[in-house]
């Protein structure tokens, strides 16, 4: 059913009422409240942040969803997840409030070529990954102690929902470094197999990312819009996590704070991975896909051959991503916080800190680079044969190498990486 302003409140009420009956029958204790309360924060953090700011942080967490909306809960490694109704996720509530209809629906039908391509991913997804009941999605339970690592809610939201910059717009600005390959060309999405690392980060606040960018609108202007997906490691999040991100539409931010509508009951965004690549050892890989089915389709995110959810086209402008994209990119990003002397941090861009020349088992990589092209009605997945080096913003700190060999199983691929600071080559922040 499509959700609109007129039926959204009633739908959410009916779903929650049904959940209350289920919880009472099962005797489940799914209240996420204690982790949102001021009492969960140490006296040291309370003194640094202050009670008034902590109160704002607690209120923001409580607005995400209520305890009554939690049908089930599960733990995945060191995180707790709550299963809430589709209609209760923040993105759906925000989009409907903006007058944009949203529906729980299936993703685009995959062609035989797509299915074969998705089977190329070397690693299976997490064994025995928990799943939510039908019609529900998993939301990571964010503890107040995570927000309290920042001095204000605004600073946390800068990181959590709105800090990303587009590599096509700024070169190394705001302490961000990029190593990307791509092309300015009309497209309907992209696809690649990415090796998963948990790279070294030096300073609290740093992060390292490997991802796909799909962009529309003029870079460096307020018309610029992007949808993005990959893995990111941030000091306040622990190991690397699965993420999606969007910028410039009606919502900007990570996961369901950024206008992304999750439909899958089986995959939890913002979750860690079961295993990570090791230096000189086994490489853990996952397949990431962003696809739009023609001009009138929505932007769908696929992970390991499953459609996880979508960004509704209606939240984007006709000059941006509403109909199609104008460029695509693959690669890595680092955000580093320099010290008082403007010295770059020793934060790795994926990999084990090796530059691209370290190659397989040391550098970060994305392989089988592919792009969706079409006629406005249907789209087809092709090799990204037009891909070129797009942006390496600080080659003495991080770099990238692009390869093409259609006789090789990887066909088109990139290595990228770097250690950040060195006394000779990368002494200063950008």
CA 260 – CA 247 distance, rounded (Å): 11
84 alpha carbon, distance to own chain's centre: 20
In sign, the C-alpha dihedral spanning 239, 244, 248, 251 is negative
Helix-then-strand count for the chain, H and E:
7, 21
Q: What is the pLDDT of residue 318?
A: 95
| Residue pair 430/172 in contact by the 8 Å Cβ criterion | yes
Q: What is the pLDDT along the chain (430 residues), one digit of tens a residue?
A: 667 655 554 454 444 333 332 333 333 455 787 778 888 888 888 888 899 999 999 999 998 999 999 999 999 998 999 999 999 999 999 999 999 989 999 999 888 877 776 666 545 555 567 899 999 999 999 999 988 888 888 878 765 444 444 555 443 345 788 999 999 999 999 999 999 999 999 887 788 999 999 999 988 788 899 999 999 999 888 999 999 999 999 888 889 888 999 999 999 999 999 999 999 999 999 999 999 999 999 999 999 989 999 999 999 999 999 999 999 999 999 988 776 677 888 999 999 999 999 999 999 999 999 999 999 998 999 999 999 988 898 888 999 999 999 999 999 999 999 999 887 788 776 5
β-pairing, 253-254 vs 379-383, is unpaired
Length of the chain: 430
| Residue pair 330/190 in contact by the 8 Å Cβ criterion | yes
Going by C-alpha positions, the residue among 131, 123, 63 that lies closest to residue 94 is 63
- 330-360 per-residue burial string, b: 16 or more CB within 10 A, e: under 16: bbbbbbbbeeeeeebbbbbbbbbbbbbebee
β-pairing, 388-392 vs 176-187, is antiparallel
**Helical packing angle, 90-97 and 5-26, nearest 10°:** 160
| Residue pair 167/213 in contact by the 8 Å Cβ criterion | yes
CA 371 – CA 186 distance, rounded (Å): 10
Q: What is the pLDDT of residue 429?
A: 60
CA 206 – CA 237 distance, rounded (Å): 11
**CA angle in degrees (0–180, nearest 5) for 324-108-125:** 110
Going by C-alpha positions, the residue among 345, 377, 390 that lies closest to residue 212 is 390
Q: What are phi and psi of 362, to 5 degrees?
A: -135, -50
CA 293 – CA 173 distance, rounded (Å): 34
| Residue pair 121/195 in contact by the 8 Å Cβ criterion | no
Regarding pTM above 0.85, the answer is yes
DSSP label of 249: S
DSSP label of 351: T
Q: What is the pLDDT of residue 345?
A: 86
Neighbours of 376 (CB within 10 A): 12
Assign 233 to helix, strand or coil: strand
Q: What is the pLDDT of residue 172?
A: 39
Q: State the burial class of residue 215 (Cβ atoms within 10 Å of its Cβ: 0-12, 13-18, 19+).
A: buried
């Amino acid at each position: 059913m499509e959700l609109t302003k007129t039926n959204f409140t009633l739908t959410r009420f009916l779903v929650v009422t049904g959940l209350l009956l289920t919880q009472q029958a099962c005797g489940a204790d799914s209240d996420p409240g204690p982790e949102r309360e001021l009492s969960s924060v140490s006296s040291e953090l309370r003194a640094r942040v202050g009670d008034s700011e902590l109160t704002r942080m607690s209120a923001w967490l409580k607005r995400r969803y209520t305890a009554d909306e939690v049908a089930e809960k599960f733990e995945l490694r060191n995180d707790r997840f709550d299963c809430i109704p589709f209609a209760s996720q923040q993105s759906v509530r925000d989009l409907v409030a903006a007058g944009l209809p949203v529906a729980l629906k299936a993703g685009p039908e995959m062609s035989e070529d797509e299915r074969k391509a998705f089977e190329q991913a070397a690693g299976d997804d997490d064994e025995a990954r928990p799943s939510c009941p039908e019609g529900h999605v998993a939301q990571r339970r964010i503890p107040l102690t995570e927000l309290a690592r920042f001095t204000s809610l605004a600073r946390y939201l800068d990181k959590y929902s709105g800090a990303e910059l587009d590599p096509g717009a700024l070169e190394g600005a705001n302490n961000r470094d990029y190593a990307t390959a791509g092309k300015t060309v009309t497209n309907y999405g992209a696809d690649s197999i990415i090796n998963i690392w948990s790279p070294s980060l030096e300073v609290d606040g740093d992060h390292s990312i490997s991802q796909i960018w799909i962009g529309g609108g003029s870079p460096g202007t307020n018309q610029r819009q992007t949808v993005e997906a990959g893995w990111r490691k941030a000091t306040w999040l622990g190991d690397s996590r699965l993420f999606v991100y969007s910028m410039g539409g009606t919502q900007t931010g990570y996961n369901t704070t950024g206008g992304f509508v999750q439909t899958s009951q089986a995959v939890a965004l913002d979750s860690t991975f079961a295993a990570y690549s090791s230096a000189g050892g086994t490489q853990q890989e996952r397949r990431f896909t962003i696809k739009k089915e023609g001009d009138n389709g929505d932007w769908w995110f696929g992970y390991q051959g499953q459609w996880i959810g979508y960004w509704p086209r209606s939240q984007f402008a006709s000059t941006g991503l509403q109909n199609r994209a104008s460029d695509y990119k693959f690669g890595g990003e680092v955000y580093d916080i320099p010290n008082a002397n403007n010295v770059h941090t020793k934060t790795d861009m994926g990999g084990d800190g090796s530059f691209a020349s370290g190659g397989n088992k040391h550098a970060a990589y994305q392989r089988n680079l592919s792009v969706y092209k079409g006629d406005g009605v249907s789209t087809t997945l092709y090799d990204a044969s037009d891909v070129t080096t797009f942006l390496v913003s600080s080659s003495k700190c991080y770099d990238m190498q692009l390869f093409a060999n259609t006789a090789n199983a990887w066909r088109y691929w990139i290595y990228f990486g770097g250690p950040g600071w060195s006394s000779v080559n990368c002494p200063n922040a950008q």
